[in-house]
Structure 1
């Protein structure tokens, strides 16, 4: 095992080194090289370690089956390491347990079968005595005593039978007069319920053989019992013993339906009971015991055709006159055909075999069970196609039509894989994600497009996992990357369906040999023939080019993300099972006092705000020593943090507060409601400060985004206030996430770069101040606005260094509108000299 683990580590490190070297030589960014390298190294580790740990996982399944009584499972023990030795020891233990269990069941079945005949006869005799049908004369009592003695003898005999599998059973040979034995056996059935006549024939009349009388009587009794059971009412069962050339023959014939030739051999198997149409019935042990007795005496037994002109079953046992005294062989165990009737005490059928546990089950089993999700080759092929499309459309292209196509292909894959796709909430999330992805088609401003795509990913994760609260949101965000590891068993099942083989190593070996053969022979033929080299170069990309390396890394990364998302959709984790402690505190003051303290601090802050407003700027600057602009700039960030913390305080207090009494609910509404109202005033103060700051220093993307973020926090406070009044807030987490995504869509809808340019130009017209360099760095979305409002000063804000789309994959509406203007401008060397009002905001 140490040697194998060393090879495993060496292989993983080698793969990581090769991939990292290829990425570095191809100019792949580090942020893309590292995750792809780690993922491929983990994949190699999982693939190689799966075979090493497979016997251990098989033992887990086998142990569970053995606990249910199924000892037939065996472990693959081909390896020569410590795990292989353990597997072989496990197989030996399972075989021993299976043999012991089989002997126990056979013993119970044999005993129950053999005791039935004498017990039936004794019960009939005693019933006749009790009802006065028979007199308790010495002959009748001796018959009853004989049945009781036979029961005692049968118990000893069946114990011998149970020891057949464990060792040899000796024979106690003595001369046996066949007529006396057969007539005695026939008399045992006269008190039974079967209306059958038994005829005994012995030729010659004084036929005497060397045999074990107890075993021989057991043979005759089983054959006669079988024959009388299948004979019609008032039928005749014939027992014939005749001398033969090398021994003697015992035949028992009935007038029943007989046994089909194809079923005759199976009738002597243990539990090989025939169906009623085949002349069977009973437990299927009588004839098996009869075969064992004949084998014990060195003879044979079989069904033969009935005599001419007669019907029914005819059993013939050929026995030697003087049997060998050696040990008898164990009864033959032959497979029972599927048409056989069940045994009287069958082994309980094993429950449906659980799937072989994977190496990830112990890590994620409780929180994220595998549930045996079947393989889906179409989804795997779809995910690979998404990766290939991403490798073609994303590298060396700006966000645009190609990005939208990749997102739509991935989104449709997740939607098709999710079993929750018919739910209205899932459909609504899919529509919202499509709208967020469409921003790449309409806006050139990468900052808003990337934010929309991130929000779309969060919405998609929430829809796939059906998350409903903040803890489940956190778990859902983690579950997507973790799905790449958790979904390895499902990927293995999919690969087995796709390749038709269960050996992942064989698939990898086949791929490696194929690639090696292609490389060697293609190189030889390319060096030998120029035409072949030209053709091959046209079909196969330049594997050594940096562009190809980047595309491969992007394809693997995006394809892996899509594949992990597919498994997340097929088998989402139980995110709602993750819960934080929500038990209310014992005393009301434990939560109420901290909330009231926070309320007091908010009240003091609002009083200070009122003093600043009504006292005027002179009073403020004289009191604090700060200018009003410095005051506005310093306070906005703190107010935003205070708003976020207020939401956390409301959430924590609502979980810890008791709601049992009216007073509890009233205090909860008043204390938290007052805090929410004062928080809304803080939000209004923060927005006012940002408005003053933008008037003084201009408008930027970050300031616009922060302004919208503060407004979103105010919306959450309003929603919290509404939920707190009804004391029901399960809808709040989803509302917060969806409303945030909708606000991002709103920002994208107003064309934020054009909006920022328009407001900066308004400020320029009012104050004569503007940052021309900042305006020149805005995306193509702002070009139409700048071109329409700047006359004679277009060189200050519009530059010719804007790259035109190389292919149709980069097309979007913002760039298309900018290109349609056909502006030709130059970059000014000095903004302060050429452009009036230049100021760095």
Structure 2
């Protein structure tokens, strides 16, 4: 089996697709099972499973579609007249059969096109000589140089007859691919033939002198017209290459009992030895200096081959110079017939084509290829080399090139071995330092190191936006060290990813920004061709793979023999246990998954940085503004009217107080403020969408149109700010009544950010230009998350609840106990020692962090918890009685861990 094309032996495309699907499913199932057995989280297992399935698919699919892509490229070249492309097909399925048929068709088309070109060129060349002779004769007659006597007119008549004969002969070239052209054999006096040819050549007035050296009585059997054609071309070639006044000698003589020779010699520059073998090929005689086309000698060679002879260049004798073209012909050639004239029971005189392996273009559908011996015999102007070169189609571009098209082209990217090694190193580092540790310094270091790799790779390193996003990303990553809340780190990392993709792709508008975010995971597919070239390029690093192989073999040997000796000898086993860390199979699997995901994610981002997609091409269709202004003003005006009514209702509720709300709605004020918060947030989002649609549909052709747009949308945005303020006020009242939570604070922050977006839209509406809005919105979100993270949201929520507890005596101890380590110092300082000790016993980390897992929030939490951990049970009981009162049973029941530490908490009477 060919490892590059593993499914070539399968003879059905359906079976190939079935095997492809089955193998990818099996690979995905195996990887998923291994990850699940090792306890790897699903968000780590999923990308590795997808990568395994895609890898198996990519390997098995090699060669399945490349012939189709080659045929597409070859067909495009055929449309331009190039029939030389061939498709490489090694499979035995339907695609392979189609590729062989395509090669056959291409060869037939190339042969037909070659015949057409040969015919045009040969006719042009063959008609030139007699026309030139006639033109010279007529010029002589007009100038009075010669008299129109019988001899001159006979010469003109001979040239006209030759023209007619040549037209008939040259039309036969359209049938050369079918077999030999028939010869009209008859007795020929060689001396008379040569003298007639010399007489015709002398009319051209080229200034050369012709000598004839043919013994009288030399008679042969031949086609006189073909021999005259042979002599005319040889004399024309000699005249063109002879100096003015030079001598051209035509000689002939017997060559044994069965053959005779004919030679034309000139006194020109001669034929270089390196060109002697190809002067009889079409366009291969090197006649540029002489004004020829290189076809005449090819025709002379064809005439000799038709008679069963040959022609060659003979080196001149010592002391002589010039060219010597010598033809050797049989005295009695075997008669030939055209295949069209052959009886059905006779075999063609053309030898059968040579047998060639399938897929080669030398034989096509039983016909001789242009470079076969038979084709050279039957073709008058066919070069001795191939009439066309069977050039294999260039390797087709990867499938992903056609998948992404002009939106994400890849051109001129060299293999990135160094970048691959850097990403692999970051992945290996992640596999070592991240698993089995809390969020802390290790994660921050990996994020900063990956960001440095991307900063070094990106094309937009010099832009101000890239510099600003780099600073924001580092600041957001620092929250993993400053705060212990995992949700805050996840939010900061996700927002950093969005910022990073906008910097790598230089996205400016909303849709390009979303396309930039999508380009990161898509780069795992788009970058596969470059990854393949890079991996192949690593073979040129002579030290790399030997080192990798040596390390792998050494590690296997160490594990095998060390494990055998450690299990066979207790002393050696104790030594090995002290030196080698305990790495269970599950731990190795988990670390492998982590390293693959982190290294692969960085490699995908590095590809985006190296070859960013053209995300600015992702645009909505051009908006068509309405013709009449009222078509958009009426809907927007109705929305504004609804907003005005809502503002009036809010004012009535605000000034009417609780009694008015309860009398009008039947709800308490707390129920009233809680009921509409979600709807107000949705209304704010829909307002931004309404503004976007109105901007696309509103005409802006005149100053009046622009004024209406500013007024209507400005009023809508201003009223939306009132809605935002109302929503924030409602949430504040609700939290004062029922307590503060992190989720409520996040909702407040989101509503506040929506209000900021409305303000930005108002600013953009002043100049009716908002290209900067998406970046401004993204940067403001990053700043808001960063400021909120630095403000320590969990500690802030804990402090607000404790303030409420001090004012009202009400507190949700369950919720306080569910807050993370960031809230521990506030709880320890704000609650009485007894309650704080009970509440923080289960919140204290089980084991301290090491250096790589250090985190400021957890460090402060451990320090605060240690201050209340020494409380004695008696103090705890006294604090409980003083603080809990009648609610002790309910509170103790909701406090995780209190029952276990002090059974008296669950008593119905005070302990």
TM-score, length of structure 1 as denominator length: 0.87
The SS at the match of 1:200 is strand
> CA separation in 2, counterparts of 1:558 and 1:519?
24
Aligned to 1:505: none
User: Using a 3 Å threshold, how does the CA distance of structure 1 residues 355 and 459 change in structure 2: closer, same or farther?
Assistant: farther
> CA separation in 2, counterparts of 1:532 and 1:123?
109
1:286 aligns with 2:296: yes
> CA separation in 2, counterparts of 1:425 and 1:119?
76
Contact 2:844 2:865 in 1 (8 A): no
Aligned to 1:266: 278
Q: Deviations over 1:612-668 (max 9, x none)?
A: 222233333443333333333333332222211111111112211122233322222
Contact 2:85 2:393 in 1 (8 A): no
The SS at the match of 2:492 is helix
CA-CA distance at 1:361 after TM superposition = 5.3
Contact 1:470 1:733 in 2 (8 A): yes
After the TM superposition, which of the residue ranges 323-332 and 555-564 deviates more from structure 2?
323-332
Contact 1:643 1:679 in 2 (8 A): yes
Q: Deviations over 1:216-258 (max 9, x none)?
A: 1122122222222222222222211122324222222222222
Contact 2:187 2:220 in 1 (8 A): yes
After the TM superposition, which of the residue ranges 20-29 and 514-523 deviates more from structure 2?
514-523
CA-CA distance at 1:551 after TM superposition = 1.8
CA-CA distance at 1:457 after TM superposition = 1.0
Aligned to 1:319: 329
Contact 2:84 2:391 in 1 (8 A): no
Aligned to 1:462: 502
After the TM superposition, which of the residue ranges 565-574 and 144-153 deviates more from structure 2?
565-574
Aligned to 1:453: 493
Aligned to 2:880: 833
The counterpart of 1:36, out of the listed 34, 48, 73, is 48
> CA separation in 2, counterparts of 1:416 and 1:294?
71
1:47 aligns with 2:90: no
The SS at the match of 1:250 is strand
Contact 1:70 1:349 in 2 (8 A): no
CA-CA distance at 1:499 after TM superposition = 5.1
Q: Deviations over 1:340-365 (max 9, x none)?
A: xxx9xx99999997761444456544
User: Using a 3 Å threshold, how does the CA distance of structure 1 residues 75 and 787 change in structure 2: closer, same or farther?
Assistant: same
The counterpart of 1:242, out of the listed 248, 253, 271, is 253
After the TM superposition, which of the residue ranges 803-812 and 214-223 deviates more from structure 2?
803-812
Superposed, which structure 2 residues align to 1:111-126 within 5 Å? 111-126=123-138
CA-CA distance at 1:380 after TM superposition = 3.4
The counterpart of 2:20, out of the listed 4, 8, 11, is 8
CA-CA distance at 1:686 after TM superposition = 2.1
The SS at the match of 1:284 is coil
After the TM superposition, which of the residue ranges 56-65 and 690-699 deviates more from structure 2?
690-699
1:608 aligns with 2:663: no
User: Using a 3 Å threshold, how does the CA distance of structure 1 residues 375 and 275 change in structure 2: closer, same or farther?
Assistant: farther
1:636 aligns with 2:677: yes
CA-CA distance at 1:496 after TM superposition = 4.2
After the TM superposition, which of the residue ranges 458-467 and 665-674 deviates more from structure 2?
458-467
User: Using a 3 Å threshold, how does the CA distance of structure 1 residues 616 and 413 change in structure 2: closer, same or farther?
Assistant: same
1:624 aligns with 2:655: no
CA-CA distance at 1:808 after TM superposition = 2.8
Unaligned runs of 5+ in 2: 1-11, 337-348, 352-367, 377-382, 542-548, 896-911
User: Using a 3 Å threshold, how does the CA distance of structure 1 residues 551 and 131 change in structure 2: closer, same or farther?
Assistant: same
The SS at the match of 1:458 is helix
User: Using a 3 Å threshold, how does the CA distance of structure 1 residues 497 and 111 change in structure 2: closer, same or farther?
Assistant: farther
User: Using a 3 Å threshold, how does the CA distance of structure 1 residues 821 and 259 change in structure 2: closer, same or farther?
Assistant: farther
Aligned to 1:504: none
> CA separation in 2, counterparts of 1:616 and 1:217?
123
Contact 2:757 2:777 in 1 (8 A): yes
User: Using a 3 Å threshold, how does the CA distance of structure 1 residues 385 and 614 change in structure 2: closer, same or farther?
Assistant: same
CA-CA distance at 1:826 after TM superposition = 3.2
Aligned to 1:753: 794
The SS at the match of 1:301 is strand
User: Using a 3 Å threshold, how does the CA distance of structure 1 residues 211 and 15 change in structure 2: closer, same or farther?
Assistant: same
Contact 1:248 1:318 in 2 (8 A): yes
User: Using a 3 Å threshold, how does the CA distance of structure 1 residues 30 and 179 change in structure 2: closer, same or farther?
Assistant: same
> CA separation in 1, counterparts of 2:568 and 2:271?
74
User: Using a 3 Å threshold, how does the CA distance of structure 1 residues 352 and 592 change in structure 2: closer, same or farther?
Assistant: farther
> CA separation in 2, counterparts of 1:135 and 1:647?
101
TM-score, length of structure 2 as denominator length: 0.81
> CA separation in 2, counterparts of 1:240 and 1:531?
100
The counterpart of 1:715, out of the listed 716, 740, 756, is 756
Q: Deviations over 1:684-712 (max 9, x none)?
A: 22222333333344433223222222221
Aligned to 2:837: 795
> CA separation in 2, counterparts of 1:10 and 1:37?
14
After the TM superposition, which of the residue ranges 555-564 and 519-528 deviates more from structure 2?
519-528
Contact 1:273 1:281 in 2 (8 A): no
Unaligned runs of 5+ in 1: 337-342, 502-512
Aligned to 1:419: 459
After the TM superposition, which of the residue ranges 567-576 and 288-297 deviates more from structure 2?
567-576
> CA separation in 2, counterparts of 1:674 and 1:65?
61
The counterpart of 1:20, out of the listed 26, 32, 39, is 32
User: Using a 3 Å threshold, how does the CA distance of structure 1 residues 622 and 821 change in structure 2: closer, same or farther?
Assistant: closer
Q: Deviations over 1:277-328 (max 9, x none)?
A: xx87632222222222222222222222212211122222222222233458
Aligned to 1:106: 118
User: Using a 3 Å threshold, how does the CA distance of structure 1 residues 206 and 116 change in structure 2: closer, same or farther?
Assistant: same
Contact 1:390 1:554 in 2 (8 A): yes
Q: Deviations over 1:426-450 (max 9, x none)?
A: 3333332232223223322222221
> CA separation in 1, counterparts of 2:392 and 2:765?
50
Q: CA RMSD in A?
A: 4.0
> CA separation in 1, counterparts of 2:567 and 2:238?
87
Q: Deviations over 1:79-100 (max 9, x none)?
A: 2222222222112111211222
> CA separation in 1, counterparts of 2:371 and 2:729?
96
CA-CA distance at 1:516 after TM superposition = 13
The SS at the match of 1:315 is strand
Contact 1:219 1:293 in 2 (8 A): yes
Contact 2:32 2:49 in 1 (8 A): yes
After the TM superposition, which of the residue ranges 793-802 and 151-160 deviates more from structure 2?
793-802
Aligned to 2:785: 744
Aligned to 2:305: 295
The SS at the match of 1:266 is coil
User: Using a 3 Å threshold, how does the CA distance of structure 1 residues 137 and 432 change in structure 2: closer, same or farther?
Assistant: farther
Contact 1:266 1:272 in 2 (8 A): yes
Contact 2:86 2:392 in 1 (8 A): no
The counterpart of 1:402, out of the listed 442, 445, 449, is 442
CA-CA distance at 1:24 after TM superposition = 2.1
The SS at the match of 1:52 is coil
> CA separation in 1, counterparts of 2:237 and 2:66?
50
Contact 2:190 2:219 in 1 (8 A): yes
The SS at the match of 2:63 is helix
Aligned to 1:437: 477
Contact 2:700 2:706 in 1 (8 A): yes
User: Using a 3 Å threshold, how does the CA distance of structure 1 residues 500 and 116 change in structure 2: closer, same or farther?
Assistant: farther
Superposed, which structure 2 residues align to 1:630-669 within 5 Å? 630-669=671-710
The SS at the match of 1:90 is helix
The counterpart of 2:72, out of the listed 52, 56, 60, is 60
Aligned to 2:768: 727
> CA separation in 2, counterparts of 1:518 and 1:12?
32
> CA separation in 2, counterparts of 1:42 and 1:577?
27
CA-CA distance at 1:768 after TM superposition = 4.4
CA-CA distance at 1:120 after TM superposition = 1.9
1:209 aligns with 2:220: yes
> CA separation in 2, counterparts of 1:726 and 1:352?
59
Aligned to 1:549: 589
1:224 aligns with 2:267: no
Contact 2:417 2:535 in 1 (8 A): yes
Superposed, which structure 2 residues align to 1:810-825 within 5 Å? 810-818=853-861, 823-825=866-868
Aligned to 1:129: 141
User: Using a 3 Å threshold, how does the CA distance of structure 1 residues 418 and 69 change in structure 2: closer, same or farther?
Assistant: farther
> CA separation in 1, counterparts of 2:270 and 2:157?
35
> CA separation in 1, counterparts of 2:31 and 2:551?
16
